[in-house]
């Protein structure tokens, strides 16, 4: 239960300074000039994700009027419903001007009432994001919030010293998350380098030598189509099937929770079996065509999405499924498959052309050991990924308690003096 001794305020009442929408310029003005902050330059957590900001040509008076100052808060006022209201606390650069676009508004925190480092936490909270989605004006492709919508946001307001301590506590969690995410990024890069070396034969594991053999994919198995003759009403219940997303996003698929599709008695649909390599058929970019995942589960009846096709090995005497899941995602193989993509605005993969793919393969014993080494790497990555998700979940729960007044923090005299 929230502490009722905390006053609940409207943002507009504690921030009397005027809010200011950003500047609009047509595409002709972009390319040179001063850096400009756009909505895609920061994420929902308020982190800058693009250091190389685009530039826009402005007059001196426009630059002066729309330049960001240190500790300004920018709120996204036009976007999709899931991103509306995302915010960033501007921390630089201290030298040089950066302006902001018209689909955002600028807030200047009045430090006598609320600290900017605390206010940005309020704006990132579940309560604030829910508020923005509730008051947003919806159009066909996007939503918008007005200055009055932002000003109407209500929240408990603790004393400045408590605000400062809450912001510091949450910053400590941010640092822990950032450190773990960096560890994950480094580990993923190391795994990528190891995959490149082991899967191309540039690095051999102890006890293995000799030339790898060249094999044409079409000699190792045959393709089969995904679901056929289904419409929207067939999906939602029935038999399990593997979705496009599952194939696209994972090296392999084991027994899992699957989407469902209605299969009528007597339908001649192909079933997925252990060891089948699953391919996506199309994408908007050639680099994402023919993404693969290998089914390594054990199910009697499992089907494949219609936007995918399967490849069934004749046997496992030349290519092991456990090795194939890595080999077909290796960078040089992916580059060859991307070149096979056909199309202009949407790219498709021809099964006939894919079957001409030539693979350099080691013997089964070496395949087995390489797969095991890479599996161990993947297991370590999974542990780090779980740590990242755990830290984010714990921080989210803590924010919900601290920013709603359900949990108060103690502030000593020294902390009060520095607030």
Q: Are residues 357 and 374 in the same domain?
A: no
Alpha carbon distance 305, 307 (integer Å): 5
Smallest Cα–Cα separation from 263: which of 225, 221, 295, 302? 302
Determine the pLDDT at residue 259: 94
Determine the pLDDT at residue 344: 83
Q: Are residues 168 and 37 in the same domain?
A: no
* Count of structural domains within the chain: 3
Pick the last residue of a domain from 154, 171, 197: 154
Whether the bond between 93 and the residue before it is cis, its omega within 30 degrees of 0, is yes
Q: Are residues 115 and 192 in the same domain?
A: no
Q: Are residues 68 and 180 in the same domain?
A: no
Smallest Cα–Cα separation from 295: which of 276, 311, 280, 312? 276
Determine the pLDDT at residue 244: 94
Residue 3 lies in a domain: no
Determine the pLDDT at residue 367: 97
Q: Does residue 1 register a pLDDT over 60?
A: no
CA angle 331, 336, 338 (to 5 degrees): 90
Smallest Cα–Cα separation from 319: which of 287, 299, 292, 282? 292
| DSSP letter for each residue of 203-264 | S--TT--SPPEEEEHHHHEEEEE---S--GGGEEEEEEEE-HHHHHH-SEE-S---EEE---
Span 221-233, pLDDT tens digits: 999 999 999 999 9
Residue 26 lies in a domain: yes
Q: Are residues 34 and 149 in the same domain?
A: yes
* Domain range enclosing 172: 158-207+368-419
Mean pLDDT of the chain: 92
| Confidence grade of residue 76 (pLDDT, cut at 50, 70, 90) | very high
Residue linked to tokens 């649909």: 269
DSSP state letter for 89: E
| Confidence grade of residue 114 (pLDDT, cut at 50, 70, 90) | very high
Span 254-275, pLDDT tens digits: 877 899 999 998 899 999 999 9
Q: Are residues 271 and 302 in the same domain?
A: yes
Residue linked to tokens 């089964």: 364
CATH of the domain at 172: 1.10.287.1120
Determine the pLDDT at residue 82: 87
CATH of the domain at 260: 3.90.220.20
Determine the pLDDT at residue 408: 87
Q: Are residues 318 and 356 in the same domain?
A: yes
Pick the last residue of a domain from 336, 361, 386: 361
Alpha carbon distance 55, 30 (integer Å): 6
For range 160-164, the mean pLDDT:
93
Span 177-223, pLDDT tens digits: 999 999 999 999 999 999 999 999 999 999 999 999 999 999 999 99
Residue 21 lies in a domain: yes
Q: Are residues 62 and 186 in the same domain?
A: no
In terms of C-beta distances under 8 Å and separation of at least 24 residues, what long-range contacts does 174-180 make, across chains too?
174/395, 176/391, 177/388, 177/391, 177/392, 177/395, 180/384, 180/387, 180/388, 180/391
Determine the pLDDT at residue 416: 65
**Centroid of chain to Cα 304:** 25
Q: Does residue 414 register a pLDDT over 90?
A: no
Q: Are residues 23 and 107 in the same domain?
A: yes
Pick the last residue of a domain from 312, 336, 361: 361
Determine the pLDDT at residue 413: 64
Q: Are residues 178 and 306 in the same domain?
A: no
Q: Are residues 119 and 17 in the same domain?
A: yes
Span 332-358, pLDDT tens digits: 999 999 999 998 889 999 999 999 999
Determine the pLDDT at residue 309: 95
Q: Are residues 82 and 183 in the same domain?
A: no
């Amino acid at each position: 239960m929230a502490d009722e001794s905390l006053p609940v305020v409207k943002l507009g009442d504690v921030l009397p300074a005027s809010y200011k929408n950003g500047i609009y310029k047509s595409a002709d003005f972009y390319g040179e000039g001063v850096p400009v902050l756009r909505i895609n330059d920061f994420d929902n957590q308020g982190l800058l994700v693009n250091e190389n900001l685009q530039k826009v040509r402005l007059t001196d008076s426009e630059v002066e009027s729309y330049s960001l100052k240190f500790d300004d808060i920018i709120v996204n006022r036009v976007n999709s419903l899931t991103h509306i209201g995302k915010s960033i606390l501007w921390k630089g650069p201290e030298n040089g001007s950066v302006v902001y676009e018209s689909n955002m508004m600028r807030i200047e925190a009045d430090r006598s009432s609320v600290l900017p480092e605390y206010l940005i936490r309020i704006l990132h909270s579940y309560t604030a994001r829910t508020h923005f989605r509730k008051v947003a004006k919806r159009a066909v492709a996007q939503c918008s919030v007005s200055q009055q919508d932002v000003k109407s946001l209500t929240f408990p307001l603790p004393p400045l010293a408590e605000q400062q301590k809450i912001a510091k506590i949450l910053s400590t969690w941010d640092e822990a998350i950032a450190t773990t995410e960096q560890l994950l990024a480094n580990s993923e890069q190391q795994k990528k380098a190891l995959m490149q070396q082991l899967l191309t034969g540039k690095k051999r594991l102890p006890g293995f030598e000799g030339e790898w053999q060249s094999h044409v994919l079409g000699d190792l198995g045959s393709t089969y189509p995904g679901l056929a003759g289904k419409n929207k009403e067939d999906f939602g219940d029935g038999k399990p099937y593997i979705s496009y997303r599952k194939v696209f996003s994972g090296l392999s698929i084991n027994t899992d929770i699957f989407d469902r599709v209605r299969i009528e008695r007597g339908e001649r649909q192909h079933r997925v079996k252990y060891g089948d390599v699953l391919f996506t058929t199309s994408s908007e970019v050639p680099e994402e065509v023919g993404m693969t995942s290998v089914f390594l589960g054990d199910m009697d009846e499992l089907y494949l999405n219609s936007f995918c096709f399967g490849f069934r090995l004749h046997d496992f005497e030349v290519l092991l499924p456990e090795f194939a899941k890595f080999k077909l995602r290796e960078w040089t193989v992916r580059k060859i498959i991307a070149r096979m993509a056909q199309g202009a605005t949407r790219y498709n993969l021809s099964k006939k052309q894919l079957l001409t793919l030539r693979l350099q393969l080691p013997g089964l014993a070496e395949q087995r050991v390489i797969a095991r080494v890479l599996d161990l790497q993947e297991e370590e990555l999974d542990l780090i990924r779980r740590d990242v998700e755990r830290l984010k979940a714990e921080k989210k729960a803590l924010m919900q308690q601290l920013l709603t007044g359900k949990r108060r923090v103690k502030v000593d005299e020294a902390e009060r003096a520095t607030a």
